Amino acid sequence: QVQLVESGGGLVQPGGSLRLSCAASGSAYIMGWYRQAPGKQRESVAIITTYGSTNYQDSVKGRFTISRDTAKNTVYLQMNGLKSEDTAVYYCHARSGINDYWGQGTQVTVSS
Task: For 3-40, write each residue's pLDDT tens digit.
Answer: 999 999 999 999 999 999 999 998 888 999 999 999 99
CA distance 46 to 67: 10
In whole angstroms, what is the distance from residue 11 CA to residue 108 CA?
6
Query: How far apart, in Å, do the first and last CA atoms of the chain sit?
Result: 40
> What is the tens place of the pLDDT at every residue in 11-21?
999 999 999 99
Residue 62 has pLDDT above 90, yes or no: yes
Torsions phi, psi of 32, nearest 5?
Answer: -170, -175
